[in-house]
Amino acid sequence: MHIEHLAFNLGDPIAAADWYCAHLGMHAVSMRRQSPVGAFIADDNDMRLELYSKPADPMPLADLSADTFHLAFTTDDIEADIARLVAAGAATLGPVETTPRGDRLSFMRDPFGLCLQLAQRVGDRRS
């Protein structure tokens, strides 16, 4: 078995899919622009996200703390990516933190309410 996808109930899933493709290196797998509105997007490793809209069952993403729930992306240049994502409508949630191991981490919120973490890891380690 393996993970097939992770799903998020968002107010505007098509706009979110377009933003993730334009700014986080994802690509569209499928888009449903008519009811039910939604999209599947994936990264280069085919990790898929389903972005959909179900207003009757809202997920208050903006109410969740970054430590409780976030979607993490690796980066080679955390400062440049923070600046680029802020210019695209994301908001930082605090300063870049450095772990005792030397990893550099930053929490942000995308324009749709989802918490993101940028992770600049020491060496080639991913977690």
Asked if residue 52 lies in contact with residue 10, where contact means CB atoms within 8 angstroms, the answer is: yes
Domain extents in the chain? 1-56, 60-127
| Predicted model pTM | 0.88
The architecture CATH gives domain 1-56 = 2-Layer Sandwich (3.30)
Average pLDDT of the chain? 91
Whether residue 21 has pLDDT greater than 60 = yes
In sequence order, the 6+-apart residues with CB closer than 8 A to the CB of 109 are 62, 90, 91, 93, 115, 116
Share of the chain above pLDDT 70, in %: 95
Please, is 4 exposed, middle or buried when counting C-beta atoms within 10 Å of its C-beta (0-12, 13-18, 19+)? exposed
C-alpha to C-alpha distances, 70 to 16, 34, 35, 63, 123, nearest whole angstrom: 15, 28, 27, 12, 23
Share of the chain above pLDDT 90, in %: 71
Whether residue 85 has pLDDT greater than 80 = yes
Higher pLDDT, 104 or 55: 104
Residue 55's pLDDT band, with cuts at 50, 70 and 90, is: confident
Whether residue 16 has pLDDT greater than 70 = yes
At the fourth CATH level, which superfamily is domain 60-127?
2,3-Dihydroxybiphenyl 1,2-Dioxygenase, domain 1 (3.10.180.10)
